[in-house]
Amino acid sequence: MQNGNFIRMLTRMQNVPRWDEYAPRFPDNAASHSFRVALFSLMASYLEEVDGQRPVDRLTLLGKALFHDMNEVITGPIKHRTKKEPTLHAHIQAMEQQASEQLVALLSKSLQPAFTTYLVHAEDESLEGRIVEAIDTFDAMLYARREARMTESVFFEQKAAELQDVLERHPLVSVRRLTQSVMEEDEMSHFIENVLMMDTIRRWKGRFNTIDDNDATHAFRAASLGIFNGLIESEKYGVTIDIEEVVSRLLCHDLVEGTTGDVLGPVKHATPVTAATFEAYERAEGEMLINNLPKDIRAPFRRFVVEAKDETYEGQMVDVIDKLDALIKMNMERKLNGVEYETGYRAQLKKVQMTYENPSVVFFLAYVLHDLDYVTS
């Protein structure tokens, strides 16, 4: 059992570049991409149920969306054109499956069946697998459109048009509706644009960072930890928890920062009055963001965005996982940059130890954080 090594591999997703051979204006990586695929898949699941009258296994969908590219931390990124080369296709598929199975083997036995579904069978022929595959293309189109507008790149302009054509003819109604929204630049497209721009919201500003971080990579790690911790609670300790709800909230909990920016915690909480004022401001901005969505899917997204850290058990899990991800970030930094992060890491660790007694948190501190500290392979 090497759960810490699995989490370490997870953090390496942001080191797997995308599109880098085309010198994009907005650098992209597998973590940011997987965050967007998961959140757009979440939107698609509700649209598919409303417009297509088809039930979706949302937790399976979110797991597949978050982890569908995780094998790239072993294989490295491989261009789509190369993957589809007839003489290489079978070899690459076998290599990717082996890499996915190797990652699953790092996990506790109780977690392996679910993660086999998420990693090994991510883009299978199930409805959930087909949504992930389609949204993977949808995100690529969005990214190419943004690059084409910013850089006037002929490559990205042609790629965006090519992918748009595929998506507009896609058999899934949710995929066509998302694509139509972007093309018509309607209200929902503003929500989509906000998600796309989360990779521009930098975190840990004001500190010297050896490892860059932004809201997209943070949300990817947090949502992934939401599945990991949620399954630890339910499968290992028998706790009743709505994992789908936790993961959905973690994907969306910082979306309002696309409007407000990432304000440092000490500023937000300088005084009780300041904290209350910031909370009201962010709630109002969150409501405005939600109002860009179709009325028939606003209710769940209001929970995910505006009420992410409420007093429910799921809301408390969102709060603690947000803090666990901060521990992961500071733990990585303090080994290279102890002066800047050691004190903060110790304070955050003490706060988590003194405040939370959830079984998954105790497990994380006892095993995962220990492995991140001491296990090297």
Domain ranges across the chain: 3-374
Q: Using 50, 70 and 90 to split pLDDT, how confident is the model at 48?
A: very high
Beta strands in the chain (DSSP E): 17-18, 28-29
Write the pLDDT tens digit of every residue in 116-133: 999 999 999 999 999 999
Pick the CATH number of 3-374 from 3.20.20.370, 1.10.3210.10, 1.10.300.10, 3.10.20.30: 1.10.3210.10
Of the given ranges (13-27, 104-118, 332-346), which has the lowest mean pLDDT? Answer: 332-346
Burial 132-152 (b: 16+ CB within 10 A, else e): bbbbbbbbbbbbbbbbbeebe
Summarised one tens digit per residue, pLDDT across range 246-296 is 999 999 999 999 988 887 777 777 888 888 888 888 899 999 999 999 999
pLDDT in tens, 54-93: 999 999 999 999 999 999 999 988 877 787 788 888 888 8
Whether 137 shows a pLDDT value over 90: the answer reads: yes
State pTM to two decimals: 0.94
d(CA 332, CA 377): 15
Percent above pLDDT 70 for the chain: 99
221-257 per-position pLDDT tens digit: 999 999 999 999 999 999 999 999 999 999 999 999 9
